[in-house]
Amino acid sequence: MKWSVGIEAQCDRVLTREDILELADAVATSAGIATGIGTDRYGAQLVVDADTREEALGKATVAFQHAAATAGLPAGPVIRAEAIGEDEDEAP
């Protein structure tokens, strides 16, 4: 099943447009988009294949951390991670 996973990490500096463009390029392989220009947080929305929510979160976290390293972003703790399966309704 496909999962859309949102992940956000905190870092120790304000991120530039170029920082986030590098992250966007790095997450593009996971059908991802990146956020965080002008903040001390960077994030991505990734699409992964997994059988369970926990597996989806694990796969996306690994891909996100690899993408952040590829983009040259400072390592920071993940402060948010959530997954929505393709068969789930996003509305509350």
Q: For residue 72, is it left (φ>0), alpha (ψ between -120 and 50) or beta?
A: left
Contact call for residues 76 and 23 (beta carbons, < 8 A): no
**Strand duo 41-49 + 2-10: pairing:** antiparallel
For tokens 């991120």, name the residue. 15
Domain ranges of the chain: 2-85
Architecture (CATH level 2) of domain 2-85: 2-Layer Sandwich (3.30)
Q: What is the pLDDT of residues 68-85, one digit of tens each?
A: 999 999 888 999 999 999
The DSSP letter of residue 77 is -
Mean pLDDT of 45-56: 96
Q: What is the pLDDT of residues 2-14, one digit of tens each?
A: 999 999 999 999 9
Rounded to the nearest 5 percent, the helix, strand and coil shares of the chain are 35, 30, 35
